[in-house]
Amino acid sequence: MNTASTAPQTQHRTQVCIVGAGPSGLLLGQLLHKAGVDAIIVERQSPEYVLGRIRAGVLEQVTMDLLDEAGVGQRMHAEGLVHTGFDMLFKGERHRIDLHSMTGGKQVMVYGQTEVTRDLMDARQATGLPTVYEASDVAIHDFDTASPKVTYTKDGHAHTISCDFIAGCDGFHGVCRASVPKQSITEFEKVYPFGWLGLLSDTPPVHHELIYANSPRGFALCSQRSHTRSRYYLQVPLTDKVEQWSDDAFWAELRLRLDPQAAQTLVTGASIEKSIAPLRSFVTEPMRFGSLFLAGDAAHIVPPTGAKGLNLAASDVKYLCSAFTEFYKDHSRTGVDHYSERCLRRVWRASRFSWWFTSLMHRFPDNGEIGQKLQEAELDYLIHSEAGSRSVAENYVGLPLNFGE
């Protein structure tokens, strides 16, 4: 893993080395820049590859505020779609959860993760901040000391970055978490027995807000990217392949899982992108190892049902930026020392909601007909109970960063 290169080493120095140029790494870099903290970002993929990842885009208020704080919220506010509620569909009927009234005026915004990443990339490029793309052989060293290093190869030349801290924002399959000794880390995981078949199309959304559908045929989600671009999902067995699903077959199955009105008004069209994503709940403890700090997908994965993935990454970044800023500006280690504990409280709460919402809305093969009936009974309770609806709404819009502290 940490094999030494025989090529001459080009030496670099920074305060924070961020591994990974996805939205969490780029957001951290931008916030640190605003706070006067130096950072270099190292990414193994190309910018085009990073932007090519199709991801969800339901932003909580905490995330919107952070993007504004980072100075990249202008296009989000101009093009994003503000949602004050969403529909839950079961037994062929839709019921609206009013986020605005149930949470004291809070809301969410639909703005694609790709667009968030693009805005952050553009901002970093505009300020000339150092970002290394297409870095190969990325490795982290000595993170159990006060003098950690990151090494990589670029265009055949070996590079070493000396720093005070390493921020591991390199995703579930990245090098940072994988470099931690097994005895120092505990991983919790649940793999769900189905996946999401997603289709992106340049068609108007079937509804102006999201529809989460519980159906005897399986879960469905009607989402959107804009007034003219839609994103739809179907629960499918893990054994299914994208090639098995023609566009026509997708649309036909989606109609069968929707209420009559939505099925009738659904506008279909050719897919721009189609893929199957497995679902898992995954949490790593702790999230700090000496001078190494994990953030975002490097530390936790949630099923997309509750729209928490990007938002959890953003809250990690907020805690981490505050910790580093306190360290350099106030000469305090409080934020650094409590980073993992603060993050994990929020991570587990969001993981619980995502697991619960996934369990409520999907058809589980082993649960049989009684499982469907029990789900429908719980959904009936939730939409007719103010306390139940409020709990759903409160979790969906996102708990405050200081919730329970």
Burial of 373 (0-12, 13-18, 19+ CB in 10 A): exposed
Does the structure show a pLDDT above 50 at 79? yes
Does the structure show a pLDDT above 50 at 98? yes
Domains in the chain: boundaries: 9-78+108-188+280-360
Closest CA to 166 of 184, 139, 148, 142: 148
What does the pLDDT read at residue 54?
65
What does the pLDDT read at residue 4?
43
Q: Which of 308, 318, 339, 362 is catalytic?
A: 308
CB 303 within 8 A of CB 276: no
pTM tops 0.85, yes or no: yes
CB 94 within 8 A of CB 87: yes
Closest CA to 323 of 341, 348, 302: 341
Does the structure show a pLDDT above 90 at 385? yes
Q: Which of 152, 212, 233, 339 is catalytic?
A: 212
111 in active site: no
CB 16 within 8 A of CB 77: no
Write out the H or E segment, with its range, that includes residue 197: strand 186-201
106 in active site: no
Closest CA to 81 of 184, 197, 204: 204
Tell me the C-alpha distance between 204 and 316, whole Å: 34
Tell me the C-alpha distance between 275 and 69, whole Å: 34
Mean pLDDT score across all residues of the chain: 94
What does the pLDDT read at residue 284?
97
Q: 306 versus 17: which is more confidently predicted?
A: 17
**DSSP one-letter string for 213-280:** E--TT--EEEEESSSS-EEEEEEE-TT--GGG--HHHHHHHHHHHS-HHHHHHPPP--EEEEEEEEEE
Query: 290 pLDDT band (50/70/90 cuts)?
Result: very high
304 in active site: yes
What does the pLDDT read at residue 1?
40
What does the pLDDT read at residue 3?
41
Does the structure show a pLDDT above 80 at 359? yes
Query: Which class is 9-78+108-188+280-360 in CATH?
Result: alpha beta
Does the structure show a pLDDT above 90 at 403? no
Tell me the C-alpha distance between 178 and 11, whole Å: 24
Mean pLDDT within 224-245: 95
Percentage above 90 pLDDT, the chain = 90
State how far Cα 118 lies from the chain centre. Answer: 15
Query: 365 pLDDT band (50/70/90 cuts)?
Result: confident
233 in active site: no
Q: Which of 53-62, 134-143, 198-207, 209-218 has the lowest mean pLDDT?
A: 53-62
Tell me the C-alpha distance between 313 and 291, whole Å: 19
Tell me the C-alpha distance between 192 and 359, whole Å: 9
pLDDT tens, 20-52? 999 999 999 999 999 999 999 999 999 999 988
Q: Which of 23, 304, 318, 319 is catalytic?
A: 304
What does the pLDDT read at residue 6?
52
Give the CA radius of gyration of the chain: 22
The long-range contacts involving 384-389, CB below 8 angstroms and separated by at least 24 positions, are 389/97, 389/98, 389/102
396 in active site: yes
What does the pLDDT read at residue 282?
97
